[in-house]
Structure 1
Amino acid sequence: MALSKDRGITMNDGNKIPILGFGTYSPDAVQKSKCEEATKIAIEVGFRHIDGAYVYETEEQVGRAIRAKISDGTVKREDIFYTGKLWSTFHRPELVRKCLEESLKKLQFDYMDLFIIHNPYSMKAMEACKDAGLVRSIGVSNFTRKQLEMILNKPGLKYKPAINQVECHPYRNQSKLLAFCKSNNIVLEGYSVLGSQRDPRWIDTNTPVLLEDPLLVAIAKKYNKSPALVAIRYQLQRGLVVLVKTYTRKRIEENAQAFTFQLSEEDMKSIDGLHKHELHKSGNIFWSPTVLPTR
Structure 2
Amino acid sequence: MGGWTIGIIGGSGLYDVEGIEDGEWISTESPWGKPSDDCFVGWVGHVRVVFLPRHGRGHRISPSDLNVRANIDVLKRLGVTDVLAVSSVGSLAEERAPGTFTIADQFIDRTKGRPSSFFGAGMVAHVSMADPVCPRLSALAADAAKAAGATTHVGGTYLAMEGPQFSTRAESNLYRSWGCDIIGMTGMPEAKLAREAELPYALVGMVTDYDCWREGEEAVDVATVIAQLGTNADKARKLVMHLLRNLPEERPASPIDTCLDYALITAPNARDPHLLRKLDAVAGRALSN
Q: Which has the higher strand share?
A: 2
Q: TM-score, normalised by structure 1?
A: 0.25
Q: Which has the higher helix share?
A: 1
Q: TM-score, normalised by structure 2?
A: 0.26
